[in-house]
Each structure stands twice: as C-alpha cells, then as structure tokens.
Amino acid sequence: MTILKLITAPNSLLKQISQDVTKIDDEFRNFLDDMIETMYYENGVGLAAVQVGVLKRALVMDLDYEIEHHHHHHDHDHNCQNDIRNSNPQYFINPEIIEKDSEQKSFTEGCLSFPEARAEVTRPKSVTVKFLDYFGKERIEHFEGVASTCLQHEIDHLNGITFVDHISKVKRDIILNKMRKYKK
C-alpha cells in the first residue's frame, strides 16, 4: 500500500465539489486501502478522497484503531510501517446524509488538511447515511457521537466545505492565516 500526499489548506482543491464514483473495481478498492493507510499514517480518524487530491465522493473512517509502532518516513512513496491494532476501517462511497437529528452537539474538530488547527463546531447529534460500501453494496446506517461528527466533517469535504466554514469569520481568518504561514 502507498501513503498518499495530503492536500492542505489553503489549497483551492478543498473548495471543489467531488464527483460521484461510477466504477467500484479492484483499482478503486486499492485506492481506498491507500486512503486508510494514509489516514493511519497521519493519525487521523477520517479522510475524504479530495484530501489526497482525488475529486471522487469517497471517504474512509476508523475510530477504533491504535498504532503500536510508527516509523515515520518523509518520503511518501515508501510503504507504510505502522502496526495497527483494533482496526475497524469503514468505507463510504457516494455517501449521502438522508436524515439529521434536530438536536445539535458541539465537538472540537481537527482536520488533516489543517495541521494543528482545531475549532469547536456544532453539528446534528446523529445522522442516517446512505452509501455504497467497499464492495459497492448499498447500505443505510445510523451514526451517533464521534462517528456522526466525523462522517459529517468528511461528507462536507466532498461538498467543498471544510470545518472552518462552520465557525466565525474571525476564528476562520486566524486559522487560515496560520495555515498560510505553516505552508511557507
């Protein structure tokens, strides 16, 4: 598996809307596996395809894993050397939120495309999502808590929305200015 290069803010790709996945084959599943490995490598819990430069409606999530050893390579072409335990990777292709809880919950969110930035974001407490799984089977599942927050965050990415779009302009400007300095 390959570690993919992350796209970080203020890259304009993050503001684009991803296209539906029309073909789920071995090549696409390999890409999903690379996304999961990249997410583990970067210590994330969710990753949208756009965050690795691919404008396709796909995301991965794993809230349960632990990293036993982390050999950090700076060359993204090398294979990952993580020893992952308790992994429960989930794959969401063409995900669509079909129901949202009217009750809201705040959570401090971070994002792999905004290194070291965090902000409190308020979102629906739970969501029901329709999606295709790793093998292209249609599923409808209900998510609560951190899983709900993570899925909403990643689905936003597919729609060209980042977590900073949910916070005040002042806080957003502070984070974006920090990102511009971070990139230099």
Q: Looking at residue 165, what DSSP letter applies?
A: G
Amino acid at 92: F
Q: What is the spatial distance between Cα 90 and Cα 141, in angstroms, rounded to a whole number?
A: 12
Q: Which of 27, 99, 144, 154 is catalytic?
A: 154
Tokens of 46: 């969710």
**Matching residue, tokens 């050893």:** 69
Residue 140 CA to residue 130 CA, distance in Å, equals 4
E strand or H helix that includes residue 100: strand 90-100
Respond yes or no: is residue 37 known to be catalytic. no
Residues tagged active-site = 154
